[in-house]
Amino acid sequence: MAGAVLVINCGSSSIKYSLFDANASRTLADGIVERLGQAGSRHVHRSHAPGGDPEEIVQETPIPNHRTGVERIARRIEESSVEGGAIEIAAVGHRVAHGGSGFTGPAVIDDGVLARIAEFVHLAPLHMPANLTGIEITTALWPQALQVAVFDTAFHHTVPEHAYRYALPVDLADRHGVRRFGFHGTSHEHASKQAARMLGRPLSEVNVVVLHLGNGASACAVSGGRSLDTSMGMTPLEGLVMGTRSGDLDPGVVLQLAQADGLSVEEVERLLHRESGLKGLCGANDMRDIARRAAEGDGPAELALAVFSYRVRKYIGAYAAVLPVLDAVVFTGGIGENSAPVRDRACANLEHLGIRFDNAKNAAPNGEPRDISTDASLVKVLVIPANEELEIAQQTLRCLRDAP
């Protein structure tokens, strides 16, 4: 098969990937290599034959690092043949966490682009080193393929200055590039396009609050397909409560921890990125466990669920005020798609915002895009499965078509 598009999403301890056909209209294969460098690492690969159930291969084997992980993925793809022919990779689309303010769309990777990307490593230290390793390895493995960087930050380049600027001395902030960039851009973009389709209106006329709730979580106010504001900031630490990240915090807390408790910069960084959020509140960061424990009356789990959902609710209100009108609230990401208790706590009793939440629709498990508001609700509440890989594939394909 000629001209397939491979999407690689190198996270800190996992690599997700999806292989699409030449039009990015069909997923040929996808999978994940997870728990890199830890006990229990494994590779799950699924081949999607047309019309049938995916065929899944699970291999539990030591996978020490990203290099070994990407090489395994490449081997698996090269071993599989689709409809009788060998797969030729025409382009590889890489999810890249940070593109600063310079990258406002996808970029074909060359030495200059790589050097510019390297400047942002310190702003997303959990993700960027892995992103760069992925690019390096796929470039060596498929030298003929176009390598494209699709940035989590790019969708937010339309955020106006009054929303991206922090109230710090302007010259100091500018000198250090301190401003809101925002992340999860491909997810917010995909969800808002899907929402417009579900509402049956052109994207240019639709105003939505998108809530991407996964291990990382962010809210975004999207007007006419353009990001007006988003909850993550210069780094992916600001905003909503996350699995292990604090989200919004009084900056005085950091000073207090550093001064009174004598924590080093590295210790504070570790605390805010890896030991806070849901994990800090109740010792667990998987929402499935937390919701189950809360339902059984576990106090810390109930508190974590309450703090998480309240923060989401607060941002719905804030972004309803940012948008000219509100057409829909959109839930996406592992928690947004699956956690009925979080959606309930975030959206129930918001009739004053035009939201009439339907408890029965919310509680019914369903993996499809759906509306969980009542028919009379002025503002729809939509659940839309995240598909960052498809968005990255489509953007990569556009670069491939535009390539000389």
Point out which residues bind ligand ADP (CB under 6 A).
214-216, 243, 286-288, 291, 333-335, 338-339
Closer residue to ligand ADP, CB minimum distance, 69 or 216? 216
Closer residue to ligand ADP, CB minimum distance, 12 or 158? 12
Backbone angles phi, psi at 5, to 5 degrees: -115, 125
Name the residue whose CB lies closest to ligand ADP. Answer: 334
Measured from the CB of residue 228, what is the shortest distance to ligand ADP in angstroms?
Answer: 23
Measured from the CB of residue 195, what is the shortest distance to ligand ADP in angstroms?
Answer: 18
Closer residue to ligand ADP, CB minimum distance, 43 or 184? 184
Closer residue to ligand ADP, CB minimum distance, 216 or 239? 216
∠ CA 242-248-251, nearest 5°, is 135
Residue 310's identity, in one-letter code, is: Y
Measured from the CB of residue 335, what is the shortest distance to ligand ADP in angstroms?
Answer: 4
Measured from the CB of residue 116, what is the shortest distance to ligand ADP in angstroms?
Answer: 25
Give the three-state DSSP class for 84.
coil
Residue 59's identity, in one-letter code, is: Q
**124, 133, 130, 132: which is closest to 269 by C-alpha?**
124
CA distance linking residue 196 with residue 135, whole number of Å: 33
Look-up of token digits 């851009």: 185
Measured from the CB of residue 331, what is the shortest distance to ligand ADP in angstroms?
Answer: 11
Measured from the CB of residue 290, what is the shortest distance to ligand ADP in angstroms?
Answer: 8
Active site residue 152: yes
Among the listed residues 30, 110, 111, 152, the single catalytic one is 152
Q: Is residue 372 a contact partner of residue 382, using CB atoms and an 8 Å limit?
A: yes
Burial of 380 (0-12, 13-18, 19+ CB in 10 A): buried
Give the three-state DSSP class for 252.
helix
Measured from the CB of residue 60, what is the shortest distance to ligand ADP in angstroms?
Answer: 20
Closer residue to ligand ADP, CB minimum distance, 233 or 336? 336
**145, 147, 139, 149: which is closest to 67 by C-alpha?**
139
Q: In sequence order, what are the residues at sequence separation of 6 or more whose Cβ sits closer than 8 angstroms to the Cβ of residue 343? A: 331, 336, 357, 362, 372, 381, 383
CA distance linking residue 390 with residue 188, whole number of Å: 13
Maximum separation of any 2 CA atoms in the chain, in Å: 66
Q: In sequence order, what are the residues at sequence separation of 6 or more whose Cβ sits closer than 8 angstroms to the Cβ of residue 102? A: 116
Closer residue to ligand ADP, CB minimum distance, 35 or 165? 35
Closer residue to ligand ADP, CB minimum distance, 113 or 220? 220
Q: Which residues pair with 329 in a beta bridge?
A: 209, 381
CA distance linking residue 358 with residue 268, whole number of Å: 42
Residues involved in catalysis = 152
